[in-house]
Amino acid sequence: GSSGSSGVTLSLTKDNFDDVVNNADIILVEFYAPWCGHCKKLAPEYEKAAKELSKRSPPIPLAKVDATEQTDLAKRFDVSGYPTLKIFRKGRPFDYNGPREKYGIVDYMIEQSGSGPSSG
């Protein structure tokens, strides 16, 4: 068994960031640093939340950006501390102010995806 880290969380780089984010109705992106303790603590929770949300219809994608490698992206979104989480709606960034554990992330994102003025 190869235990590849092929999790559900999307890894974004400057090459695919705009493609992915601009096409998503809503997506949560975590800007992290590999050495950051809070990020390490969040990682498994984030992955579990991503799994949970990927089963929804429509699924809510969760992505992460290694801000130490993708410095252009980190600069673009004024990422100064880690982890920084941002919600993107059709490419527009909004601050994520929810909890940082599995159920909190899931609930918050479901709420966010369902909220907003219903057009009609």
CA distance 47 to 53: 10
Length of the chain equals: 120
CA distance 50 to 71: 24
- Annotated catalytic residue, options 38, 81, 91, 116: 38
State yes or no: is 38 an active-site residue: yes
- Annotated catalytic residue, options 1, 4, 7, 36: 36
State yes or no: is 1 an active-site residue: no
- Annotated catalytic residue, options 1, 4, 37, 120: 37
Query: Do 75 and 22 contact (CB within 8 A), yes or no?
Result: no
State yes or no: is 37 an active-site residue: yes
Residues involved in catalysis: 36-39
